[in-house]
Amino acid sequence: MPARPDLAAVILAAGRSSRMGSFKPLLPFGRGTVMERVISTVYEAGVETIRIVVGWNAHLLIPILERLGVPWVRNERFEEGMYTSVRAGVRDLPTGVAAFFLLPGDIPLAQSATLTRLIAEWDKRPGGIFCPCFEGGRGHPPLIAGAYIPEILRETPPGGLRTLLARHAEDARDVETPDLGILVDLDTPEEYRQSLEK
């Protein structure tokens, strides 16, 4: 896909992976790891500005990211919840980013074609929040207008990003996709096994 310097992606990889029992970003997946698969999906959609937010086990993940040449930002407050990672990643984006994808680092089955579809919808009518849907169910990653960045950085609402986005529900647009992978995360060993089979 053509490069999109106006767009970015924040990939969250700071959590403890407590339900999995293993560090999810570095679990084997395909020819590489879960994290490598997620990064590849973003690059294939033409998005080259990426920030990986690291926290728990950062010392294991950072060498991989540096080998791949992918910028990372450390969230020292990851224990306080995912919203702190969202803020850390968004804060590190270049000034003037028109919109950014927000990806949990444990969604390796989402397809680059889904990101491309969201970008196409954004190009038709820029602004707001574009949510990928499978059979009506919203999944990841949303494409969020950069106009919301100041608000994200200004406060920590109860309920985190979900609350903030709900506040702007009138700006959200659902984009239907045949990609079941937008709903599949890797929280447990069983979900990981099923994802490998898919």
Lowest mean pLDDT segment, chosen from 16-30, 94-108, 168-182: 16-30
The answer to whether residue 55 sits within a structural domain is: yes
Task: State the Cα–Cα distance between residues 179 and 110, nearest whole angstrom.
Answer: 7
Residue 2 lies in a domain: no
Is the link from the previous residue into 63 a cis peptide, with omega within 30 of 0? no
CATH number, position 180: 3.90.550.10
Structure-token match 């990653």, residue found: 141
Range 177-195 average pLDDT: 82
- Domain that residue 40 falls in: 7-197
Q: Which residues are CB-contacts of 100 (< 8 A; sequence separation ≥ 6)?
A: 7, 8, 9, 10, 90, 93, 143, 144, 146
- The two beta strands, 49-54 and 72-74, are parallel
**Quick one: pLDDT at residue 148?**
95
In a domain, 1, yes or no: no
Residues 105, 65 contacting (CB under 8 angstroms): no
Is residue 93 within 8 A of residue 8, CB to CB? The reply is yes
Whether residue 13 lies inside any domain: the answer is yes
Q: Examine residue 124 and state whether it is found in any structural domain, yes or no.
A: yes
Question: 């089979």: which residue's tokens?
Answer: 197
Q: How confident is the model over 2-22, as a mean pLDDT? A: 85
Best CA proximity match to 73, nearest among 58, 94, 57: 58
Look up the pTM and report it: 0.93
Residue 150 Cα to chain centre, angstroms = 19
Helices (H), the chain: 34-44, 58-68, 82-91, 112-124, 149-154, 160-167, 189-197
Look at residues 116, 124, 142, 127 and name the one whose alpha carbon lies nearest to residue 12. Answer: 142
Residue 102 scores a pLDDT above 80: yes
Q: Say how many domains are in the chain.
A: 1
Is residue 137 a part of any domain in this protein? Answer: yes
35 and 44 in contact (C-beta within 8 Å)? no
Residue 18: pLDDT above 70?
no
| Nearest alpha-carbon partner for 71 in 61, 80, 79 | 61
Q: Is 26 within a domain?
A: yes
